[in-house]
Amino acid sequence: MGDITSFTPEKLIIAVLISKREMLDKLINILKDNFGPVDFKSELLEFTYTDYYNLEMGNKIERFFLSFHNLIDPENLPDIKILTNEIENSFLLDNQRKVNLDPGMLSVKRFILATSKDNGHRVPMQKGIYGEVTLLFINKNFQALPWTYIDYRSEEYSKILKEIRIIYKKNLKELKQK
């Protein structure tokens, strides 16, 4: 029998889809107010991997990633997902989303996204939120799984997540020194 220990704190990452750039600064400030200082912000990337969001958000959708300096207890990911859904709703225009927030957590070994949608490969966490292991970190690279979304399979996203992983490892080192 293994010893039961506390979870290692993980790196909160929010993948943002946005179709109205004028909302960007307000959105980032709200996210900082709720999750603390940002230690990484990717450039805005044209989101062309799917047209799934176009009907609601429009045809010019961009993606960017934020990571936050304050590490999280993995048990808190469902509450974070619920809060990000509320933040999304605060940006509705004509009852349509112009912002889509996908919170996830990065460890040294994996990247997990939170979702409210059940599927066979998703694990119930709490409060109606599931965790999906989206990528595994193996042999110095992120590896997709059969269910990994096409955009998360891209080299572009992998590069971003590797940069955030380096920051996360520094965060862990600082935490151990305290």
Q: For every one of its 178 residues, what pLDDT tens digit does the chain have, with 9 covering 90 and above?
A: 889 999 999 999 999 999 999 999 999 999 999 999 999 999 999 999 999 999 999 999 999 999 999 999 999 999 999 999 999 999 999 999 999 999 999 999 999 999 999 999 999 999 999 999 999 999 999 999 999 999 999 999 999 999 999 999 999 999 988 7
**Interacting residues of 143 by C-beta distance below 8 A, sequence separation 6+:** 135, 136, 137
**Interacting residues of 49 by C-beta distance below 8 A, sequence separation 6+:** 149, 150, 151, 154
Report d(CA 32, CA 29) in Å as an integer: 5
Q: Does 5 reside within a domain?
A: no
Q: Does 163 reside within a domain?
A: yes
Instruction: Give the chain's domain count.
Output: 1
Cβ atoms < 10 Å from Cβ of 113: 22
Q: Does 104 reside within a domain?
A: yes
Q: Does 89 reside within a domain?
A: yes
Q: Does 6 reside within a domain?
A: no
Predicted TM-score of the model (pTM): 0.96
Q: Does 34 reside within a domain?
A: yes
Q: Does 4 reside within a domain?
A: no
Q: Are 16 and 66 in contact (CB under 8 A)?
A: yes
Please give the residue range of the domain that contains residue 25.
11-177
Cα 50 to chain centroid, rounded? 18
Q: Does 18 reside within a domain?
A: yes
What would you report as the CA-atom Rg of the chain, rounded to the nearest whole angstrom? 16
**Residue whose pair of structure tokens reads 């960007």 in the numeric block:** 24
